[in-house]
Amino acid sequence: MIAVKEESLKKTLKDVFGYDRFRGRQEAVINNLMAGRDSFVIMPTGAGKSLCYQLPAIIQNGTAIIISPLIALMKNQVDQLVAFGINARFLNSTLSKAEINRVRKDTLEGHTKLLYVAPESLTKEDNVTFLKKANISFVAVDEAHCISEWGHDFRPEYRRIRDILSQLDNELPIIALTATATPKVQLDILKNLDMHDAETFKLSFYRKNLYYEVRPKQHAKKQLIKYIKEHKNKSGIIYCLSRKKVEEIANLLNVNDIKTAPYHAGLEAAVRIKNQDDFLNEEVDVIVATIAFGMGIDKPDVRFVIHYDVPKSLEGYYQETGRVGRDGLEGNCIMFYSHNDILKLEKFHKDKSVTERENARVLLNEMASYAESSVCRVRQLLHYFGESFEKDCGFCDNCVRPREKFDGKEFVELVIQTAVLTGERFGMAHLVKVIRGSENQYVKSYEHDKLDVFGKGSEDTEEFWKSVIRQSLLMEFLEKDIDYIGVLKVTEKGDSFIREPFNIQLTKDHDFSDLGEEESEKEVMVGKAYDETLFEMLKKLRKQIAKVKGLPPYVIFQDPSLEEMATTYPTTIQELEEVIGVGKGKAAKFGEEFVNTIELYVEDNDIITVTDVRIKSAINKSRNKVFIIQQIDKMMDLEEIADAKKLSMDDLLEEIESIISSGTKLNLNYYIDQVIDEERQEDLYDYFLNVETDSIKVALEDEDNMDYTEEEIRLIRIKFLCEYAH
Ligand SMILES: Nc1ncnc2c1ncn2[C@@H]1O[C@H](COP(=O)(O)OP(=O)(O)OP(=O)(O)O)[C@@H](O)[C@H]1O
Ligand SMILES: [Mg+2]
Ligand SMILES: [Zn+2]
For 652-672, the pLDDT digits (tens) are 998 898 888 766 778 899 999
Comparing 134-138, 165-169, 429-433, 438-442, the range with the smallest average pLDDT is 438-442
- What's the full length of the chain, in residues? 726
Region 409-503: CATH code: 1.10.10.10
Comparing 23-37, 471-485, 488-502, the range with the smallest average pLDDT is 471-485
**Does the CB atom of residue 45 touch ligand 1 within 6 A?**
yes
**Does the CB atom of residue 214 touch ligand 1 within 6 A?**
no
Asked if 541 and 594 touch (Cβ cutoff 8 Å), the reply is yes
Q: Where in the chain is the domain with CATH 1.10.10.1390?
A: 623-724
Q: Where in the chain is the domain with CATH 1.10.150.80?
A: 522-613
Assess whether pLDDT exceeds 90 at residue 38.
Answer: yes
**Rounded distance between C-alpha atoms, residue 361 and residue 367, angstroms:** 10
Distance 167 CA to ligand 2 centre (A): 26
Distance 296 CA to ligand 2 centre (A): 4
pLDDT of residue 620: 42
With the most atoms of ligand 1 within 8 angstroms of its CB, the residue from 14, 19, 54, 178 to mutate is 19
Assess whether pLDDT exceeds 80 at residue 216.
Answer: yes
Mean pLDDT computed over 364-378? 92
**Does the CB atom of residue 46 touch ligand 1 within 6 A?**
yes
pLDDT of residue 468: 95
Q: What is the pLDDT of residues 522-544, one digit of tens each?
A: 333 333 457 788 888 999 999 88
Asked if 86 and 16 touch (Cβ cutoff 8 Å), the reply is yes
Q: What is the pLDDT of residues 605-640, one digit of tens each?
A: 766 543 445 455 544 446 677 778 878 887 888 998
Residue 109 exposed, middle or buried by CB count within 10 Å (0-12, 13-18, 19+): exposed
Domain range 522-613, CATH class: mainly alpha
pLDDT of residue 327: 87
Q: What is the pLDDT of residues 398-413, one digit of tens each?
A: 999 888 889 999 999 9
pLDDT of residue 289: 95
Residue whose C-alpha is closest to residue 66's, from 148, 143, 166: 143
pLDDT of residue 623: 65
pLDDT mean across residues, the chain:
88
**Rounded distance between C-alpha atoms, residue 692 and residue 699, angstroms:** 11
Distance 372 CA to ligand 3 centre (A): 14
pLDDT of residue 622: 60
pLDDT of residue 331: 94
> What fold, for 2-202?
Rossmann fold (3.40.50)
**Does the CB atom of residue 179 touch ligand 1 within 6 A?**
yes
Q: Where in the chain is the domain with CATH 1.10.10.10?
A: 409-503
Secondary structure E strands in 122-225: 136-141, 174-178, 199-202, 210-216
With the most atoms of ligand 1 within 8 angstroms of its CB, the residue from 50, 84, 206, 209 to mutate is 50
**Does the CB atom of residue 47 touch ligand 1 within 6 A?**
yes
pLDDT of residue 574: 85
Interacting residues of 398 by C-beta distance below 8 A, sequence separation 6+? 373, 374, 375, 376, 377, 507
Residue whose C-alpha is closest to residue 302's, from 314, 312, 287, 289: 287
Mean pLDDT computed over 455-469? 94
Distance 412 CA to ligand 1 centre (A): 42
**Rounded distance between C-alpha atoms, residue 566 and residue 558, angstroms:** 13
pLDDT of residue 73: 83
Mean pLDDT computed over 460-467? 92
**Diameter over CA atoms, the chain:** 104
Return the DSSP state at 17: I
Q: Where are the alpha helices (DSSP H) in 617-709?
A: 623-633, 638-644, 649-661, 669-675, 678-690, 696-701
Neighbours of 416 (CB within 10 A): 24
**Rounded distance between C-alpha atoms, residue 16 and residue 5, angstroms:** 16
> What fold, for 623-724?
Arc Repressor Mutant, subunit A (1.10.10)
Distance 55 CA to ligand 1 centre (A): 12
Interacting residues of 249 by C-beta distance below 8 A, sequence separation 6+? 221, 224, 238, 240, 288, 308
Q: What is the pLDDT of residues 545-569, one digit of tens each?
A: 888 888 777 778 887 788 888 877 8
Distance between start and end Cα atoms, the chain: 87
Q: Where in the chain is the domain with CATH 3.40.50.300?
A: 2-202, 210-389
Closest ligand to the CA of 46: 1
With the most atoms of ligand 1 within 8 angstroms of its CB, the residue from 20, 84, 298 to mutate is 298
pLDDT of residue 520: 39
**Rounded distance between C-alpha atoms, residue 284 and residue 260, angstroms:** 5
Domain range 210-389, CATH class: alpha beta
Interacting residues of 321 by C-beta distance below 8 A, sequence separation 6+? 45, 210, 212, 305, 331, 333
Q: For ligand 1, atom 27, which residue shows the shortest CA distance?
A: 296
Query: What strands lie across the sheet with 210-216, from one edge to the other?
Result: 210-216, 331-337, 302-307, 235-239, 286-289, 260-263
Greater confidence (151 vs 267) lies with 267
Residue whose C-alpha is closest to residue 243's, from 266, 220, 221: 266
Mean pLDDT computed over 280-299? 87
Comparing 184-198, 446-460, 676-690, the range with the smallest average pLDDT is 676-690
Mean pLDDT computed over 460-487? 90
Residue environment code for 660-674, b if the CB has 16+ CB neighbours within 10 A, otherwise e: bbbbbebebeebbee
DSSP string, 491-535: -HHHHHHHHS----EEEPPP--TT--SPPPGGGTTTTT-S-HHHH
Angle at 86 between CA 84 and CA 91, to 5 degrees: 120
pLDDT of residue 518: 47
Give the pLDDT band of residue 125 (cuts 50, 70, 90).
very high
Mean pLDDT computed over 469-488? 89
Q: What is the pLDDT of residues 296-322, one digit of tens each?
A: 788 889 999 999 999 999 999 999 999
Mean pLDDT computed over 40-53? 94
pLDDT of residue 514: 59
pLDDT of residue 724: 74
Alpha carbons within 13 A on the beta-carbon side of 684: 28
**Does the CB atom of residue 326 touch ligand 1 within 6 A?**
yes
Comparing 38-47, 123-132, 204-213, 633-642, the range with the smallest average pLDDT is 633-642
**Rounded distance between C-alpha atoms, residue 164 and residue 157, angstroms:** 11
pTM of structure: 0.68
| SS3 state of residue 408 | coil
